[in-house]
Amino acid sequence: MHRRTSNSLRSWLIFIATATALSVIVAVVWSSLGRAGLIPDPDLSQDRAAVIGLTDAPDTLDIRTDSDPAVERALLGNVYETLLDRDDDNKVVAGLASQWTVSDDALTYTFTIPEGLTFSNGDTLDSSDAVWSLQQLVEHQYVGHDGLDALAGVTNPDPTTLVLTLSRPDPTIPRTLTGRAGIIHDADATAQRAIDVPGSGPFTIESFTPGERIELAANPHHHGDAPASGHITIRYHADATTLADALKNGDVDAAAPADPTDAAALASALGGSDGSSDDDADGNADGGSFTIADGTSTSETILTFNHEGESILSDEQVRRAVRYAIDNASIAAAQPDAVAALGGPIGPLEDGYEDLTGAYPYNPDTARGLLSYFYANYFGTLDLLVPTEYADMGNTIAGQLGAVGLTVTVETLDKAEVERRVTEGSYTLAVTTTDGVDDTSVYATSDNVMHYTSGTVQQAWKAAMAATSQQDYETLLRAYAATVGNDAPCDWLYARKTTVAMRAGVSGLTANMADRRLPLAKLLAQ
């Protein structure tokens, strides 16, 4: 009996000693791997910080009442999240709702909101918050409410289900819910200041200095992966030049101008947009290179035609001649803010896009033939308004129109003055830019600034808006775009480019639509 006890004790002591030794070995190896960066430290991201420079400073952070796109750009996807989301190619994907279905008649949308979601204050996020948010949006007519004109009712049968009932089909509803109309707010929150309103995104607002900066901190209650950096500073700069200097000097880790024209200027200041720029002589903070990434905006540059009253462009044949006379491809190739030539009202990142550049190929002879039907001096002098930043392009357009027999006077003005003149109708032609939001429908209205009206176009748009499936919607949008394009209410010159720049060792910014949406959860400065 004594021998058996002694043997058992000896075995037990050997086991403890072996286990202890193995534990020490594992701890040493694990520690070494961690120091080498081979094993991620779950808390490391909270100690990381990154600074991004922008040029569009918002006056407030009230995402409900301030319509400034700068508010949405800074906060949407970072502090606030939406029922549905958009991927980097502008396709609608799941957001806070993990999935959604649409009834056959397209009058009922049912969304599934997973359990376990929370706001930054720790409150539970469920379908009752979604109902309340939509009701508040409509009742108070917050920014984005006009996208829900077809909404007839909203209910939540249970905490994970949200049901929207429409009065008529509206295939734009999913996309609408990727914007401000789709933000789910906390129904129980009592915050009085905009910066204190809890969201469900990866960050919270730590502080806000109007015109200067926004400080974001990681949301400890976020349902998804922790952001790559625990602290983000959004620092605002007056223009692309000062922003480029800040990046060169190491004051910011990344830069993303809001206006594609500024983005082009930034790329030029950093040495080009061909990928990287060795810039030691200019004081690059780390002596390395800048990564310059180009993407596509939903904004477009167009040659606007005035259809009002006695304007010669109220004649379809003249409009068609102008389109044949202008070489969109060469203009797009020469413009630093252009990503691709356009031929129709729908851009490459929008539903229903189709390359329509072949509809009116550059053909001066065809343009001359169309104009030959009119008597001499019929056209008079065409007044072309051009924003200062597009002065060279304005001269190019005037030259191309002059080559087919049209006399053009170019007025180079600041952008605000061009917009004012277009609004009041005192022009013949004008180079303008769209903001990339709801621009496709403008040709189907009778109150647009071009004074363009077409019953055929309006019917084509009406048909698209009555679509009951995404496939039918996109098919009908293509038909609408072809109808509009053929009637030539303007000349769509090109889709605009977006640019983001990062110093060496910085990653996590995507370029597509960076002028409108700027998710920062993956931004990492090493």
CATH number of 324's domain? 3.10.105.10
Last residue of a domain, one of 130, 149, 182: 182
What does R_g of the chain's alpha carbons equal in angstroms? 28
Q: Among 75-79, 227-231, 284-288, 454-458, where is mean pLDDT lowest? A: 284-288
Q: Are residues 502 and 492 in the same domain?
A: no
Q: What is the mean pLDDT of residues 469-473?
A: 97
Q: Among 170-184, 253-267, 348-362, 404-418, where is mean pLDDT lowest? A: 253-267
**In sequence order, what are the residues at sequence separation of 6 or more whose Cβ sits closer than 8 angstroms to the Cβ of residue 239?**
55, 262, 265
Last residue of a domain, one of 182, 215, 232: 182
In a domain, 8, yes or no: no
* Local confidence band at 272 (pLDDT 50, 70, 90 cut-offs): low
Count: domains in the chain:
3
CB 81 within 8 A of CB 183: yes
**Res. 281: pLDDT tops 60:** no
pLDDT value, residue 43:
54
Q: Are residues 469 and 380 in the same domain?
A: yes
In a domain, 138, yes or no: yes
List pLDDT tens digits, range 250-268: 999 999 998 888 877 887 8
Strands 151-158 and 203-209: unpaired
pLDDT value, residue 55:
94
Last residue of a domain, one of 182, 205, 230: 182
List pLDDT tens digits, range 490-520: 999 999 999 999 999 999 999 999 999 999 9
pLDDT value, residue 152:
98
**Res. 10: pLDDT tops 90:** no
Angle between helices 364-371 and 316-325 (to 10 degrees): 160
Task: Give SS3 for 166.
Answer: strand
Containing domain of residue 270, as a range?
196-295+498-525
In a domain, 464, yes or no: yes
List pLDDT tens digits, range 297-327: 999 999 999 999 889 999 999 999 999 999 9
pLDDT value, residue 5:
40
Q: Among 12-26, 148-162, 301-315, 419-433, where is mean pLDDT lowest? A: 12-26
pLDDT value, residue 268:
80
Taking all residues of the chain, what is their mean pLDDT, rounded to a whole number?
Answer: 89
For residue 166, give the nearest of 180, 176, 152, 177 by alpha carbon.
Answer: 152
In a domain, 273, yes or no: yes
Q: Are residues 340 and 489 in the same domain?
A: yes
pLDDT value, residue 269:
80
Q: Are residues 385 and 251 in the same domain?
A: no
In the beta sheet, which residues pair with residue 386? Answer: 412
In a domain, 34, yes or no: no
In a domain, 432, yes or no: yes
What is the percent of the chain with per-residue pLDDT over 70, rounded to a whole number?
Answer: 87
In a domain, 37, yes or no: no
Q: Are residues 419 and 347 in the same domain?
A: yes
Task: Give SS3 for 422.
Answer: helix
Q: Are residues 301 and 220 in the same domain?
A: no
**Res. 168: pLDDT tops 70:** yes
Q: Are residues 397 and 440 in the same domain?
A: yes
The string of DSSP letters for 395-406 reads HHHHHHHHTTT-
Q: Are residues 135 and 208 in the same domain?
A: no
Q: Can you give the CATH number for the domain in which 234 is found?
A: 3.40.190.10
Which amino acid is present at 191? A
For residue 260, give the nearest of 500, 516, 497 by alpha carbon.
Answer: 497
In whole angstroms, what is the distance from residue 228 CA to residue 165 CA? Answer: 39
**Res. 23: pLDDT tops 80:** no
In whole angstroms, what is the distance from residue 259 CA to residue 71 CA? Answer: 15
Q: Can you give the CATH number for the domain in which 102 is found?
A: 3.90.76.10
**In sequence order, what are the residues at sequence separation of 6 or more whose Cβ sits closer than 8 angstroms to the Cβ of residue 518?**
52, 54, 73, 74, 77, 78, 256, 509
Q: Are residues 340 and 382 in the same domain?
A: yes
Q: What is the mean pLDDT of residues 160-182?
A: 98
Tokens encoding 457: 């176009």
* Local confidence band at 377 (pLDDT 50, 70, 90 cut-offs): confident
Q: Are residues 205 and 334 in the same domain?
A: no
Q: Are residues 305 and 337 in the same domain?
A: yes
pLDDT value, residue 526:
87
In a domain, 50, yes or no: no
Q: What is the mean pLDDT of residues 428-447?
A: 89
pLDDT value, residue 45:
56
In whole angstroms, what is the distance from residue 166 CA to residue 107 CA? Answer: 5
Q: What is the mean pLDDT of residues 356-371?
A: 97
The DSSP letter of residue 146 is G
Q: Are residues 136 and 164 in the same domain?
A: yes
* Local confidence band at 31 (pLDDT 50, 70, 90 cut-offs): very low
In whole angstroms, what is the distance from residue 359 CA to residue 340 CA? Answer: 16
